[in-house]
Amino acid sequence: MNQDAEHLRLLAIFHYVYAGLTALFACFPMIYVFIGLAMVGGAFGRGDGAPPAIAGGFLALVGIVAFIFVMAMAALNAYAGKCLADKKYYVFCIVISAINCLSFPFGTALGVFTIVILQRPGVRAMFGKPVTPQT
């Protein structure tokens, strides 16, 4: 039981770290926003070879959507870390871990380890879930 609690504590810390890294990498789509706004503002000239302003607007929109999506994932990972530390919302932690598995390599490792730890009978009992007998 003590080992399960320690593993949950470590998983919570790793979720916080992964959320911070995800938030850091969320800043990269802002490059698309700045380039798109520069295209709309005419910073690339108005000659025959200049990109149209509509393309710049679309590029900025794609950057904003990507930024919001990645920041939302960072926030969800941070909240999953809090839920793991508080031993609440078991299903939410499983779902976020499954979504993390799509993000290779760090998210996959974190997601798989989290799912494996959360399937232990002792951990399920900590979350207040019924423990099914092993067959």
64 falls within a domain: yes
Q: Counting Cβ atoms within 10 Å, is residue 103 exposed (0-12), middle (13-18) or buried (19+)? A: middle
Query: What's the confidence (pLDDT) of residue 10?
Result: 96
Query: What's the confidence (pLDDT) of residue 52?
Result: 79
Query: What's the confidence (pLDDT) of residue 46?
Result: 65
**CA distance to 66, 123, 124, per residue, from 39 (Å):** 19, 53, 53
Per the structure, how many domains does the chain have? 1
133 falls within a domain: no
107 falls within a domain: yes
103 falls within a domain: yes
Distance between CA atoms of 61 and 58, rounded to whole angstroms? 5
60 falls within a domain: yes
85 falls within a domain: yes
Residue range of the domain that includes 94: 2-126
Query: What's the confidence (pLDDT) of residue 39?
Result: 87
134 falls within a domain: no
pLDDT tens for the chain, 135 residues long, are 689 999 999 999 999 999 999 999 999 999 999 999 998 887 777 666 667 788 899 999 999 999 999 999 999 999 999 999 999 999 999 999 999 999 999 999 999 999 999 999 999 999 988 877 665
135 falls within a domain: no
